[in-house]
Chain A
């Protein structure tokens, strides 16, 4: 016959050395923290990488768009230059002078002699668009200015 034996008392845990349990729980907590921090760092790095890549891609796209715009503007400038030149074509100027303004050739040209030096002759038109150095449209930010002060970053 089976008899119920009182359950053997669970061996009581020996008391730890003073402070040992605290250290264990603290070690576990710090490991968790470390892992969490590491995961956070990895996540942050990944996010940073993604953000940077997308920013680079965005800037690259913007550069291409600006390049296309520059090409289109250059083409427009060349087109306008040609138009200006064609509008100052001698034949057109003559026909405008005669047809629209009613000018006629003089029967006689009178030359008036004056005691003053002639002004410098500037036969028009001059070259229409003189290439100029590009001017910065946007002021550099504090980071650019700071980097600009460092050697090799100018």
Chain B
């Protein structure tokens, strides 16, 4: 041993050993951290690197009409993408593009230019390719081409009930109508498939695999009947053309249950040719039957009369002296025909639709009782029909600071307050149900998986007594059947109804040249199968009264629907023969 080398550990040895030990300990600690403490995190990262998950979209549920016909349904499709990173290999890309072009009826140049726009990332070359063709592309296993499952919404009945059914956007979310209101039911729950993948992202055949199956969206069945809806839409289009009116609505209900059988408004949206960027889209997709308010005019006289009858203030034979005008405060209210009719009973006042008669009844009732009855008929409150954007209505009462006594008088004949067509017809329906106000509904059934929710008719409240309801129905029958050549008469059937004509309100008051013509009625009177409200906005061309414009439309719609529903005629008619 060299004398220069000590036979014991010097401080240098200790430092080296100490440092080495420190490094080893540090490595050990790090090892424990990686292998033990953060084991799961690193495992997850590693799994993410080699395991790819693909979302599997849930099939969107269908919207069915009352007969089970799909008004909206989904068809599976695929979106075709190319992987630009892989398509940097131009020779292989050209081969794939040639084959793909043949399958998609696309030019090879176009596909190649799409795939060469950038060096990486996926480029979509075609959306919504039908599933069978997508399977052929998948089977061809083309270089750098991959498919993403998708679906496309189809509307087999075309544009029918476009505002009601609604539309689905690119992201498969409902934009309006039932598609939006019941989106959470229709959309379902997407699934996923997780598989181990090779460096090119292709699934390894026998690698580990986990998946969650998508849960299909539920089906929403409506009370709307497509045959009735088609009839109503055709008749509405015809009427708007005939009376050169810019807009209008027709609502058909089952008065006994409150089910909405048809609901149409114009202008409307065309589902088959839609421009989602159009500036007037919001105007077109509005379901005016539930969102738009109008002054119901003389149709509301039926509610005023029912309230007075129900409280025993009058009977159908009670009379008043009609001078053609009545003063209320500083205002003079006149009949629509500006004529005094002398001694008039309740039946005649309704037949002639005299404003003075409505003012007389409102004075008999008093403000508190009058507004209480309107509330009982559902005026000024939501019907809870289940459609988005439903308006509650506008009605001032004596509790409001801007209410004036003349409001009671004008409200009695349907001016100065606003309601939706749905509220008005719902109120009228109560005359066919012994005075019970039925809640309108449009969804009859929701089926999700093995769960079925059936919606039953709901009675909201007793609006008037059964006797009053019966009397009102008879008075409304006399309005139509008691007036010769009334426009609302339907051959073979007795009709109970009431016309309405209102001036269009503008910021400075009323436009004396434009009207809203309406008619609400029930048919057949003996046992009403349907109730119909027709509203034509701003008719022109000489005719602008409810009896001239809306009543004939009502008659045409009612006759078509009576035939469709196979309702036996209730009146003798040359068109009715008895089998021998």
- Where the two chains meet, the residues of A that have a C-beta atom closer than 8 Å to any C-beta of B are 57, 60-61, 72, 74-76, 78-79, 81-82, 85-86, 88-91, 108-115, 118, 121, 123-127
Contacts and interface: CB of A to CB of B under 8 A. Distances in A.
A125 B573 CA distance: 33
A113 B70 contact: no
B76 A126 contact: no
A57 B206 contact: yes
B575 A125 contact: no
Contacts of A112: 577-579
Interface string B526-563: 00000000000000000000000000000000000001
A61 B68 contact: no
B74 A78 contact: yes
A113 B156 contact: no
B227 interface: yes
Given A61-B206, A89-B157, A125-B68, A72 B131 contact: yes
21 contacts: A61-B205, A75-B132, A78-B59, A79-B130, A81-B70, A81-B73, A82-B73, A85-B69, A85-B156, A88-B156, A89-B156, A90-B230, A108-B575, A109-B575, A111-B575, A111-B577, A113-B568, A113-B576, A121-B566, A123-B67, A126-B68
B83 to A, nearest CB: 22
Nearest to B66: A123
B224 interface: no
Nearest to B560: A109
Interface string B150-187: 00001011101000000000000000000000000000
Contacts of A81: 70, 73
Contacts of B135: 72
Contacts of B407: none
B569 interface: yes
Given A85-B69, A110-B577, A75 B76 contact: yes
Interface in B381-424: none
Interface residues of B, number: 37
Nearest to B135: A72
- 10 closest Cβ pairs, A-B complex: A85-B156, A75-B76, A75-B131, A127-B68, A123-B67, A114-B579, A86-B156, A113-B578, A111-B576, A126-B68
Interface of B: 59, 64, 67-70, 73-76, 130-132, 135, 154, 156-158, 160, 205-206, 225-227, 230, 492, 563, 565-566, 568-569, 573, 575-579
B79 to A, nearest CB: 14
A132 to B, nearest CB: 13
Given A113-B578, A121-B566, 4 more contacts: A75-B132, A85-B157, A86-B154, A111-B568
Contact of A110 (B74, B205, B230, B575): B575
A115 B575 contact: no
A126 B225 CA distance: 12
Contacts of B74: 78
Nearest to A54: B206
A121 B70 CA distance: 19
B73 A89 contact: no
Given A78-B75, A126-B67, A89 B158 contact: yes
B579 A82 contact: no
B56 to A, nearest CB: 9
Nearest to A87: B156
Which of B69, B135, B230, B563 is most buried by chain A, counting CB atoms within 10 A of its CB? B69
Contacts, number: 90
Contacts of A91: 158
B75 A82 contact: yes
Which of B158, B227, B569 is most buried by chain A, counting CB atoms within 10 A of its CB? B158
A13 to B, nearest CB: 61
A113 B577 contact: yes
Nearest to A123: B67
A124 to B, nearest CB: 8
Contacts of A86: 154, 156
Contacts of B226: 90
A113 B69 CA distance: 30
B556 to A, nearest CB: 13
Given A109-B563, A113-B576, A88 B131 contact: no
Contacts of B158: 89, 91
A111 B566 CA distance: 9
Contact of B132 (A57, A76, A89, A121): A76
A118 B577 CA distance: 16
Contacts of A88: 69, 156
A79 B131 contact: yes
A89 B130 CA distance: 21
A77 B284 CA distance: 34
A89 B154 CA distance: 12
A67 to B, nearest CB: 9
Nearest to B157: A89
B220 to A, nearest CB: 13
A1 to B, nearest CB: 61
A73 to B, nearest CB: 10
A74 B213 CA distance: 14
A91 B270 CA distance: 15
Contact of A82 (B64, B156, B227): B156
A78 B61 CA distance: 11
Nearest to B153: A82
A89 to B, nearest CB: 6
Nearest to A57: B206
Contacts of A57: 206
Contacts of B73: 78, 81-82, 85
A72 B69 CA distance: 23
A122 B390 CA distance: 33
Contacts of B566: 118, 121
Contacts of B69: 85, 88, 125
A79 B575 contact: no
